[in-house]
Structure 1
């Protein structure tokens, strides 16, 4: 099997570029026009290739970076490398995939969570909040949930969009997973009204925290 080069992959991605898809993606801040299903099919064919992933990342092309995140080995990155990559990730999809597919599986994830959580850059801070939300749901031991609610209550209303969304997700997760804090989480959401009027398609759960919490708790109760 011959080694696949960055140039070969970039040519393949260029052939998959769809102007209509790019126009849709750009409305959400993502500057690429490659169907994600086709991108995942390429990743499945290439399998895990860390050197190729690093080469694709260096192109600064969004589709190439998304592919890089699918074929990389998450545990192979050093802490500072991931920190640099996050600060280079200015489109929402690359940012989200880096956090969810790579950082969460990396041994430096908790260290990065703490560093990013307090970062003055709101986009970087949103990654810290996303990792914190993961811990709220799966490994809450050691987290100070009342202090998290204090921060959300004080800062979420005026936070920039990406950070506000991440803080709101954390608020909802605290209310869903921790009954002892549920009433306060709902009260904070009702008072701040963040995402209260967010357009939600039929059969989808609203991101407005009080409704989100109520719906997820209802589903949990149904399973019992």
Structure 2
């Protein structure tokens, strides 16, 4: 498949689309009908193809964009390109994969984290908070964790859904990873009650921060439950 074209890939994606998959995805705000396992298998077959990835992204089709994010070269994008891509990525899955599979691996991640966190667009700001959560877990040096908790305490309760979810994840991560801030993180979660009643499937951990923090800390202390 050395000379695979955008048109050929689009035809293959069209053949993979399924109405039942689309219906499930639409309930989550997404607009594609391709099974993600099949999409990943196609990406594995194509391997890394930077130019094909750009062409697929330019189609504006969500399934094509998801595939593009799997076969692109993350470090090849300039900061301005990534910013533009994020603002175009309005469906949740494309947005999440762009941040997690591409931006987090980019040399521009920290610059974008700072810029996006302060953006007036709550969807863009949610990407900044996702990058902050990554740093809380993996590279907290230089972060003002107490200051982040101040912002979360002041703004999370009334934040739009996507931004609220991202801030809540950061709150939980601070509580999980940093014992000196754990009591305050739990107290903020208890006071704000964000996602307290979120329907959680059996066997999964609730996204309600106090429960999430306590459960993850317990697992680390006791090891996985049988």
Work out whether the TM-score is over 0.5: yes
Following superposition, the deviation at residue 222 of structure 1 comes to 1.1
Gaps of 5+ in 1: none
Taking a change above 3 Å as real, the CA distance of residues 2 and 48 of structure 1, as seen in their structure-2 partners, is: closer
Equivalent residues, number: 224
Gaps of 5+ in 2: none
The SS at the match of 1:33 is: coil
Question: Aligned residue for 1:218?
Answer: 218
Question: Aligned residue for 2:82?
Answer: 82
Following superposition, the deviation at residue 65 of structure 1 comes to 0.1
RMSD: 0.9
> In structure 1, what is the Cα distance between the partners aligned to 2:180 and 2:15?
53
> In structure 2, what is the Cα distance between the partners aligned to 1:14 and 1:4?
16
Normalised by the size of structure 1, how large is the TM-score?
0.99
Normalised by the size of structure 2, how large is the TM-score?
0.98
Q: Kindly report which structure 2 residues correspond to 1:48-197, keeping only aligned pairs within 5 A, or say none.
A: 48-197=48-197
The SS at the match of 1:142 is: coil
> In structure 1, what is the Cα distance between the partners aligned to 2:37 and 2:2?
25
The SS at the match of 2:169 is: helix
The SS at the match of 1:158 is: coil
The C-alpha deviation readout for 1:65-103, integer Å capped at 9, x for no partner, is 000000000000000000000000000000000000000
> In structure 2, what is the Cα distance between the partners aligned to 1:169 and 1:2?
41
Is 1:4 paired with 2:10? no
The SS at the match of 1:169 is: helix
> In structure 1, what is the Cα distance between the partners aligned to 2:170 and 2:106?
21
> In structure 2, what is the Cα distance between the partners aligned to 1:204 and 1:121?
31
> In structure 2, what is the Cα distance between the partners aligned to 1:223 and 1:26?
37
The SS at the match of 2:9 is: helix
Following superposition, the deviation at residue 223 of structure 1 comes to 3.6
> In structure 2, what is the Cα distance between the partners aligned to 1:164 and 1:2?
44
Is 1:199 paired with 2:199? yes
Off by >2 Å, runs of 4+ in structure 1: none
